[in-house]
Structure formats: structure tokens, C-alpha cells
Amino acid sequence: MNQEILKEIDSIDLQSKAPETEPQRQYYFIAKVKEHVKALTEELGRTPTCCVTTFGCQMNARDSEKLTGILRLVGYDIIEDENADFVIFNTCTVRDNANQRVYGRLGELKGFKKKNPHMKIALCGCMMQEPTVIEKIKTSYRIVDLIFGTHNIYKFAELLNTTFEQKGMIIDIWEDTDKIVEDLPIERKYPFKSGINIMFGCNNFCSYCIVPYVRGRERSRNPKDIIREIEALAAEGVVEVMLLGQNVNSYGKNLPEPMTFAELLQEVEKIEGIERIRFMTSHPKDLSEELIQVMKNSKKICRHLHLPLQAGSDRILKAMNRVYNKEQYIALAKHIREEIPDIAITTDLIVGFPGETLEDVEETIEVVKEVQYDNAFTFIYSKRTGTPAAAMPNQVPEEVVKEGFDKLLKTVQETARERVKRYEGMVMDALVEEVNEHDATLLTGRLSNNTLVHFPGDKSLIGKIVNVKLDKYCGFYYMGSMVE
């Protein structure tokens, strides 16, 4: 974290009133919580522990890094064991099974809290923006100390302070906000790569998706703040950044001085030290020719594009409110491949949307065969209360969903294998990410196209980009060897 900010926090007079402006207000509460954690340390005779568990997308993972940065700064020891003095679940609600996992984990925490009277439990993230969830937690999970949502995550230090000074469950949920607070602590999972939020919220309102209701309307960060953050990361040794947004193609439309996503990418490319640029997620309806050309001509933008299809039937796409049809999507994918022949295209697919038939699934399979995805995330439709799709008639029977899902998944795997296998024998750049978790003699690296490769090497190479020969294709990953 910026040393000037640390000095500012250390010099705060806690006898004074909390500032009204951000982020100074949060610096004040960080200083206050440090005192509470110091007292707790003395009482316990050890450093209190904290575990942050993340459910869901890269946006949530980035939010968790912000929470972890504050917790480390105030004096907690960060561990991965949920039998800790402070446990925080950063939740996802895109699918119902994510909610059920949280409830199951909360049940496990009951036993831990009985044995540890100092234990605090906090819940945040998308799931907490649902009123029915809050009611369930209030009645069935009284062990929870703090609940907050997606719009006020920047207030974490202030809310954490309240848990030290008040008894009972603290709930602070906002319906929406246009506020973006910069310059708060953050602790990255990897020293050599980082996600960067460039925007928050979504305006698309796909009929199955709860994200616009829990993340709010689109709001873009000021490009100068984004560039400043990435420059600071580059100075710290970060070589790869991933620009994050619910739909990055909409970036900049609501700024006082509008800027396109393609223009932002060109500015990021100028930053010295940054060698790779990724982004997530791109909506097909507004992926511009300008963006395709910027990607084509870039030496830093990775050869990977995630382009969610969701369904291949025009009737289902219309019911989903995706605002494109099958022919438009296929034409776009073909054009991208013509302009950038070495690009890997991945996608999201949903099976079992209300009213979908096996004939509709066959249409999705046709698109998969035509586009030839390098990988696809295939999901069974999950009914989310509050979305238009949840109230639609003709919810699909489970056995029909399973039949369509299995057939689609088989096609996805077959076509993806053929796409990925074509690199066998080639030498490509790989960013070394970690020691292989199954074999300590191997390193795991990621190619520009997002494919993993495992190869012999020393852990001193982690964080570096090296040349690797892709010796053997093994089904969605490669075994390789380093080339000098």
C-alpha cells in the first residue's frame, strides 16, 4: 500500500470526529480498528486470525483482496482455516447452489463459534443484496455479526469497527449507489498479476440474471484512476492485468467525458512493465469493430476472448433478452477469427431456460460446432427469485434438462479438444503462475490464449514469462519443456 497513506493512518487523532469525506473517513476507522485488534491480541495472548472465503466471479475475488488488505493492516493474521477469530464469506448469488453452499458453511461455523466466544462472522457480496436472504439469516443464523452488500464494501473498516463497539447483528445494505471510493488498502493474491475493476454494475437485464439487481446500474471508473492504479502495480512488479466489469464493452458510456473500452485498452498498453492485458466479460451485442482492431494490432492484449452465447436458439435468446440472434453471433465470432486467427474464444452456455426444448438445445449444439470454442462453461439454468425468467411458465423438467446438458457438454468437450490440440509441438510464451499442485518438480504456466501448460522448472521462475515447447496435449492442458 502507498506509504503516504500508511503514514496518514498512523497519524490520525482518534479523539477527533470521524471525517465525512472518503477515503479519509475509512482511514480513521482503520486506525480505530487497529486499536481494537491490539486490545484483542493482548486479551488472547496471540495475534487474532482471519479467514476470507470467496464465492463467485473475478469481481468478487478482487473485492476479497480489498477486504484482506484492510484486515492485514489492522492486525489480523490471514489464514485459510475457517476455524478463525474472524470469518468473512464474500458471497455469490448467480446460481442457487452458491447460496446453499453458504448456508451449509454457516452451519459448520456454529460449532466453531460455540468454542470461541471472540469469534466474529461477516457476510458480504451479491447474495446479501437479496431481502429474502437477509430474513433467513436473521431468523436461522443468529451467529452472524455483520452483513453488508456490494454497494458499500468500501465501508468495511467502519462496519468492522461497529462490531467491536456494538452487540448484536449489524446489517448495512444499500439498494444502489453511484459512489466509487479509491485508494483503499488491498492485498493481492499474486504479486505478478492482478485484477482491476474498471466498472461496476450492469444495465443489460438478461431475464435469467440477478446481477443488475444485486450489483446495481453501470458506473465506470475514471480512466485516470485506472491508469494510476495499473502504473502503481507495474512499479510493484505486476506483469499481467485483467480488466474487470460485468460488460467491459459498455465501459465509459456514463463518464463526464465518454471513453470507449478500446481507447482505455490503448492507454493501458502504453504502461511500461505491463506485458499482458486480459479482460472479462465481453457482451456480444456491443463488441465493436474498434475493439477487434485494437486487439488485432496489440502486442500485449492476450489472445483470448470470452464471448458468452448462453443459447443458440433465437426464440430462447429473445426470451433471455440477449439482444442478438444466432446468425449475428456466428457472424461476429467468424469475423473475430478472420481478423485474429490465433485467438481463443470461450463462452458461457445455459441449458434448461424456461420453455427450452431439446430442439432448442440442438440449435445451441450447432453453434458450438460452427464456432469451435476453445472452452465453454456450461450451466444448468438456476431459477433466481426476482428475475423475469423465474416467473415464466414452462419451467423445464429436470430429466429433460439433464439430457440436453449431457449432450451439449459432450459436444463442447469434443470441439474444444480439437481446438486446443492444434498447438501441439509449438513454442509459446507462458506466464509461470505456481509450482504444480500435484507434482512439485513441475511449474504451471498460462499461455496467452489461457491454456495451462505444466513443465519442469525452478520456482524462482514464478511471475516470469518464459518460452515453452508444447510437447504433449493432455486434454485441455499441455505437458511441455522450457526453451532457452
pLDDT in tens, 232-259: 999 999 999 999 999 999 999 989 999 9
Q: Sign of torsion, CA 314 315 316 322?
A: positive
CA dist 133 and 103 (Å) reads 10
Q: What is the predicted pLDDT for the residue at 6?
A: 80
Nearest CA-CA partner of 375 in 304, 443, 430: 304
Give the HSE-up count for residue 190: Cα atoms under 13 Å, Cβ half-sphere.
21
Q: Which residues pair with 319 in a beta bridge?
A: none
DSSP state of 343: -
Beta carbons of 387 and 210 less than 8 angstroms apart: yes
Start-end of H helices in 284-434: 289-297, 314-320, 326-339, 358-371, 398-421
As given in the structure block, the three cell numbers for residue 376 are 465453454
pTM of the model: 0.87
Beta carbons of 409 and 402 less than 8 angstroms apart: no
- Mean pLDDT for the chain? 94
Phi and psi (nearest 5°) for 316?
-75, -40
pLDDT tier for residue 175 given thresholds of 50, 70 and 90? confident
CA angle 282, 92, 205 (to 5 degrees): 45
Q: Which residue has the cell 503462475?
A: 433
- SS3 of 47, please? coil
Helix (H) or strand (E) holding 33: helix 24-44
Output the CA–CA distances (angstroms, integers) from residue 341 to 32, 293, 296, 333, 441, in the order listed: 55, 13, 9, 11, 34
Predicted confidence (pLDDT) at residue 375 exceeds the cutoff of 60: yes
Task: Give the mean pLDDT of 79-98.
Answer: 92
pLDDT in tens, 180-220: 777 888 888 899 999 999 999 999 999 999 888 888 889 99
Q: What is the predicted pLDDT for the residue at 58?
A: 85
What is the SS3 string spanning 270-298? CCCCCCEEEEECCCHHHCCHHHHHHHHHC
pLDDT in tens, 430-460: 999 999 989 999 999 999 999 999 999 999 9
Output the CA–CA distances (angstroms, integers) from residue 118 to 37, 41, 113, in the order listed: 11, 11, 8
Q: Which residue has the cell 485474429?
A: 340
CA dist 383 and 395 (Å) reads 9
pLDDT in tens, 9-54: 888 989 999 999 999 999 999 999 999 999 999 999 999 999 999 9
Q: What is the predicted pLDDT for the residue at 319?
A: 97
